[in-house]
Structure formats: C-alpha cells, structure tokens
Structure 1
C-alpha cells in the first residue's frame, strides 16, 4: 500500500466516519474506496444480468414454438393431411 499526501474535506470525512463507524482517517478513506469499488462491480454485474435476462425473455423467441418444439410444424402438417 502506498502513501499519498492529500487534502480532505473534513466535514465529508467526519460524516463518512460516522457512517462507517471508523476511527482513523486512513480507515475511513480506505473503506470509502472499497465501497465505491464494490458499488461499481455490483453495477456492472447488474448490467450483465439485465442483458442476459433481456435475451432470455425475448417474447418473440418464446412465442416461436418451432424453436423449442423442433418438428412440431411437420407434425402439424401431417395431422392436417
């Protein structure tokens, strides 16, 4: 872990310390960075899941019976004859 000298918004830092229950500036900043990183990962996972769900729930595909009943169209034609 590297050392970095930064200026912090003391009011925001105090609010973050209360929210996280952290005692030191270092712990608070590291916790906030992890929280943002985790939020980005969850957001990306949600977008991926939404994309997969959209593909899986394509109503045109679901209503096309020939896609999940191969040969049913031929069987229907045989019954009509």
Structure 2
C-alpha cells in the first residue's frame, strides 16, 4: 500500500545509522513489525499469574477427557459448561476419539 508520511528527519537519521537498513522503507516496516510483536508480547504478559499449567500425563489426560466430553456434548446439541478448546472443536458430523495415524513409506534408494 502506498502511503505518504512525514517523519522526523533526525529520528530517521538515527535509526538508519544504528540499523542495517538499506532504505527508509525497510526501517519503517521493521518498526511496524516491532510494534506488532510488542503488542502480542504485552498480551501474553498480561496473562502472567492467571494460567495454571499442569504438564503431567495425568493432567493432560484429564484435560483431554474434559474437552472430548464438551466436544461430544456440542456435537449432540447438549448444553455444557466451560470453554471448548478450538483444537477439540470437531465437526458436528461426528466426534472421533482417536486421530488417524498415517504411515509414510520411505523412498527406495537408487
């Protein structure tokens, strides 16, 4: 998208001198990417202390079973409490307990 903007010449000169930018456009685009990344980090940092992480096998099995029960309830049109993880939001056509495993045959060497 073509846009004309007025940029502080002194600021641009400092950025161009300290960065490895070939053009002013590269410098501006990198600044925009940095702002976008910073916004994402701020969102993650706001969750500090609010999440409970249980990385045990039992914890994962319990979480998976709860999510599968919610997915089955949703597919059946039954109301349920809690929030369904998008990874478990399966199509209404049917809830599959196990995912298909595909085996890839190695290529024959010549």
TM-score normalised per structure 1:
0.56
| 2:34 corresponding residue in structure 1 | 35
Offset at 1:47? 1.0
| 2:14 corresponding residue in structure 1 | 15
Offset at 1:16? 1.8
Gaps (5+ residues) in structure 1?
A: 57-81
Larger radius of gyration: 1
**1: CA distance, partners of 2:14 / 2:49:** 34
TM-score normalised per structure 2:
0.43
How big is the alpha-carbon RMSD for the aligned residues of Structure 1 and Structure 2? 1.5
Higher relative contact order (CA 8 A, sep 6+): 2
Q: For 1:1-80, list aligned pairs within 5 A.
A: 2-52=1-51, 56=52
Gaps (5+ residues) in structure 2?
A: 53-110
